[in-house]
Amino acid sequence: MNTYAKQKVINTNIKTGIDILEESGFAALQGSKVGLLVNPASVNRKIEHDVDIIRRGKGFELKALFGPQHGIYGHTQDNMIEWTGFEDKRTNLPVYSLYGEVRKPTDRMLEGIDTMLIDLPDIGTRYYTFLWSAKLVMEACAEKGIRVVVLDRPNPIGGEIIEGPTLQLFYRSFVGLSAIPVRHGMTIGELLVFINEKEEIGCKLEIIKTEGWKRNQWADDLDLPWVIPSPNMPTIESATVYPGGCLLEATNISEGRGTCRPFEIMGAPYINAHRITEEMNNHELPGLFLRPMYFQPTFSKHQGSLCGGFQMHITDREAVRSVKAFALFIYLTEKIYPGFFSWKSPPYEYEYDRMPIDILWGSPMLREIVEKQGNLNELFAKMEADEEAFAKEREPFLIYK
pLDDT 10s digits, 256-270: 999 999 999 999 999
Spatial distance between the Cα atoms of 42 and 119, rounded to a whole number of angstroms:
6
Contacts with 224 (C-beta within 8 Å, 6 or more apart), sequence order: 14, 16, 45, 154
All structural domains of the chain, each given as residue ranges with its CATH number in brackets, are: 17-221 (3.40.50.12170), 236-386 (3.90.1150.140)
Q: What is the mean pLDDT of residues 89-109?
A: 95
Is pTM beyond 0.85 here?
A: yes
What pLDDT, on a 0 to 100 scale, did the predictor assign at position 2? 46
Does the pLDDT value for residue 145 go beyond 50? yes
Kindly report the backbone phi and psi dihedral angles of residue 244, in degrees, each rounded to the nearest multiple of 5, phi listed first.
Answer: -95, -35
What pLDDT, on a 0 to 100 scale, did the predictor assign at position 73? 81
Spatial distance between the Cα atoms of 130 and 55, rounded to a whole number of angstroms:
23
What pLDDT, on a 0 to 100 scale, did the predictor assign at position 101? 87
What pLDDT, on a 0 to 100 scale, did the predictor assign at position 78? 61
DSSP string for 325-367 = HHHHHHHHHHHHSTTT--BPPSPBTTBSSS-HHHHHHTSSHHH
Q: What is the mean pLDDT of residues 16-43?
A: 97
Spatial distance between the Cα atoms of 172 and 144, rounded to a whole number of angstroms:
24
What pLDDT, on a 0 to 100 scale, did the predictor assign at position 4? 47
Q: 199-222 burial, b for 16+ CB within 10 Å, e for fewer?
A: eebebebebbbbeebebebbbbbb
Q: What is the mean pLDDT of residues 321-328?
A: 98
Spatial distance between the Cα atoms of 83 and 98, rounded to a whole number of angstroms:
8
Q: Are 201 and 138 in contact (CB under 8 A)?
A: yes
Spatial distance between the Cα atoms of 156 and 186, rounded to a whole number of angstroms:
10
pLDDT in tens, 198-237: 999 999 999 999 999 999 999 999 999 999 999 899 999 9
388 — pLDDT class (breaks 50, 70, 90): very high
Q: What is the mean pLDDT of residues 299-304?
A: 96
What pLDDT, on a 0 to 100 scale, did the predictor assign at position 181? 98
Instruction: Cite the beta strand spans of 24-124 per DSSP E.
Output: 33-38, 61-67, 86-88, 93-97, 115-119
What pLDDT, on a 0 to 100 scale, did the predictor assign at position 49? 96
